[in-house]
Amino acid sequence: MSFRADGDLGVSLPFPLLIFKNVQVGLSGGWLVNRIYLKDKDLRNFGWMVHYTGSASRWVDGYVAAGWEYDVVDTDPGHTRARNLFVTENGIKLRVNIHHTPMKPRHFPGLLISSCGVTSPGQSLNRKGSPP
Protein backbone atom coordinates (compact mmCIF):
# COMPACT_ATOMS: atom_id res chain seq x y z
CA MET A 1 0.00 0.00 0.00
CA SER A 2 1.26 3.48 -0.75
CA PHE A 3 0.43 7.14 -0.25
CA ARG A 4 -0.95 8.99 -3.31
CA ALA A 5 -0.99 12.75 -3.94
CA ASP A 6 -2.25 14.05 -7.28
CA GLY A 7 -4.06 17.18 -6.18
CA ASP A 8 -6.11 14.99 -3.84
CA LEU A 9 -4.64 12.81 -1.10
CA GLY A 10 -5.28 9.08 -1.01
CA VAL A 11 -3.93 5.54 -0.94
CA SER A 12 -2.96 3.16 -3.72
CA LEU A 13 -2.66 -0.64 -3.78
CA PRO A 14 -0.87 -2.54 -6.57
CA PHE A 15 -1.42 -6.28 -7.02
CA PRO A 16 -0.77 -8.88 -9.77
CA LEU A 17 -2.80 -8.53 -12.97
CA LEU A 18 -4.34 -12.00 -12.65
CA ILE A 19 -4.83 -11.45 -8.88
CA PHE A 20 -2.64 -14.44 -7.90
CA LYS A 21 -0.22 -14.49 -10.85
CA ASN A 22 2.09 -11.85 -12.33
CA VAL A 23 1.92 -11.18 -16.09
CA GLN A 24 5.11 -10.50 -18.03
CA VAL A 25 4.88 -8.83 -21.46
CA GLY A 26 6.75 -11.07 -23.89
CA LEU A 27 8.42 -8.71 -26.37
CA SER A 28 9.38 -5.88 -24.02
CA GLY A 29 10.02 -7.98 -20.93
CA GLY A 30 8.01 -5.60 -18.75
CA TRP A 31 5.29 -6.34 -16.22
CA LEU A 32 1.55 -5.59 -16.06
CA VAL A 33 -0.12 -5.10 -12.68
CA ASN A 34 -3.46 -3.85 -11.37
CA ARG A 35 -3.52 -0.72 -9.29
CA ILE A 36 -6.54 0.49 -7.38
CA TYR A 37 -6.71 3.74 -5.46
CA LEU A 38 -8.98 5.75 -3.19
CA LYS A 39 -8.60 9.51 -2.91
CA ASP A 40 -10.30 12.85 -2.14
CA LYS A 41 -12.02 13.72 1.11
CA ASP A 42 -13.39 10.66 2.91
CA LEU A 43 -11.71 8.57 0.17
CA ARG A 44 -14.87 8.88 -1.93
CA ASN A 45 -13.17 8.66 -5.36
CA PHE A 46 -12.18 5.21 -6.64
CA GLY A 47 -9.92 4.29 -9.54
CA TRP A 48 -8.54 1.19 -11.23
CA MET A 49 -5.62 1.13 -13.67
CA VAL A 50 -3.57 -1.41 -15.56
CA HIS A 51 0.01 -0.37 -14.86
CA TYR A 52 2.96 -1.29 -17.13
CA THR A 53 6.56 -0.99 -16.00
CA GLY A 54 9.59 -2.14 -17.96
CA SER A 55 11.22 -3.83 -14.97
CA ALA A 56 10.34 -5.00 -11.49
CA SER A 57 13.90 -4.53 -10.20
CA ARG A 58 15.70 -1.62 -11.91
CA TRP A 59 16.38 1.31 -9.62
CA VAL A 60 14.98 3.85 -12.15
CA ASP A 61 12.31 2.92 -14.63
CA GLY A 62 9.46 4.53 -16.53
CA TYR A 63 5.84 3.45 -16.32
CA VAL A 64 2.50 4.02 -18.03
CA ALA A 65 -0.99 3.24 -16.78
CA ALA A 66 -4.54 3.54 -18.10
CA GLY A 67 -7.89 2.86 -16.53
CA TRP A 68 -11.15 4.13 -15.05
CA GLU A 69 -11.96 6.56 -12.23
CA TYR A 70 -15.24 7.18 -10.40
CA ASP A 71 -14.96 10.85 -9.44
CA VAL A 72 -17.36 12.57 -7.03
CA VAL A 73 -17.35 16.36 -7.39
CA ASP A 74 -18.90 18.95 -5.08
CA THR A 75 -21.26 21.21 -7.04
CA ASP A 76 -23.38 23.31 -4.65
CA PRO A 77 -23.15 23.17 -0.86
CA GLY A 78 -24.55 19.79 0.13
CA HIS A 79 -24.77 18.51 -3.48
CA THR A 80 -22.39 16.29 -5.41
CA ARG A 81 -22.10 14.95 -8.93
CA ALA A 82 -20.48 11.67 -9.96
CA ARG A 83 -18.41 11.24 -13.12
CA ASN A 84 -16.89 8.17 -14.77
CA LEU A 85 -13.58 9.08 -16.39
CA PHE A 86 -11.01 7.35 -18.57
CA VAL A 87 -7.63 8.22 -17.00
CA THR A 88 -4.00 7.80 -18.03
CA GLU A 89 -0.77 8.23 -16.12
CA ASN A 90 2.92 8.12 -16.98
CA GLY A 91 6.10 8.83 -15.07
CA ILE A 92 9.19 7.36 -13.49
CA LYS A 93 9.57 5.01 -10.56
CA LEU A 94 12.61 5.07 -8.24
CA ARG A 95 13.59 2.09 -6.08
CA VAL A 96 16.14 2.24 -3.24
CA ASN A 97 17.22 -0.65 -1.04
CA ILE A 98 17.41 1.16 2.31
CA HIS A 99 19.79 -1.45 3.79
CA HIS A 100 22.51 -0.33 1.32
CA THR A 101 22.43 3.23 2.68
CA PRO A 102 24.12 4.75 5.76
CA MET A 103 20.76 4.73 7.64
CA LYS A 104 20.32 0.91 7.92
CA PRO A 105 17.12 0.87 10.05
CA ARG A 106 16.42 -2.39 11.89
CA HIS A 107 12.66 -2.66 11.55
CA PHE A 108 12.08 -1.55 7.97
CA PRO A 109 11.05 -3.73 5.02
CA GLY A 110 14.12 -2.67 3.09
CA LEU A 111 12.81 -1.24 -0.18
CA LEU A 112 11.62 2.33 -0.71
CA ILE A 113 9.70 2.94 -3.93
CA SER A 114 8.75 6.41 -5.06
CA SER A 115 6.85 7.33 -8.22
CA CYS A 116 6.56 10.71 -9.84
CA GLY A 117 4.10 10.96 -12.69
CA VAL A 118 1.45 12.93 -14.50
CA THR A 119 -2.18 11.84 -14.35
CA SER A 120 -4.54 12.97 -17.10
CA PRO A 121 -8.28 12.63 -16.69
CA GLY A 122 -9.54 12.11 -20.19
CA GLN A 123 -12.84 11.41 -21.86
CA SER A 124 -15.96 11.17 -19.70
CA LEU A 125 -17.47 7.69 -19.89
CA ASN A 126 -20.95 8.92 -18.95
CA ARG A 127 -23.66 8.21 -21.51
CA LYS A 128 -24.84 10.92 -23.88
CA GLY A 129 -27.50 13.09 -22.29
CA SER A 130 -26.20 12.58 -18.75
CA PRO A 131 -24.21 15.29 -16.99
CA PRO A 132 -20.42 15.21 -17.65
- The pLDDT tens digits of the residues spanning 78-119 come to 888 888 989 998 988 888 777 666 666 666 566 666 777 777
Does the pLDDT of residue 40 top 90, yes or no?
no
Does the pLDDT of residue 44 top 80, yes or no?
yes
**In angstroms, rounded to a whole number, what is the distance separating the alpha carbons of residues 47 and 50?**
10
When pLDDT is cut at 50, 70 and 90, the band that residue 37 belongs to is very high
Q: What is the pTM of this model?
A: 0.75
Question: Comparing 47-51, 75-79, 86-90, which segment has the lowest mean pLDDT?
Answer: 75-79
Residue 74, amino acid: D
Alpha helices (runs of H) in 45-132, residue ranges in sequence order? none
**In angstroms, rounded to a whole number, what is the distance separating the alpha carbons of residues 65 and 80?**
28
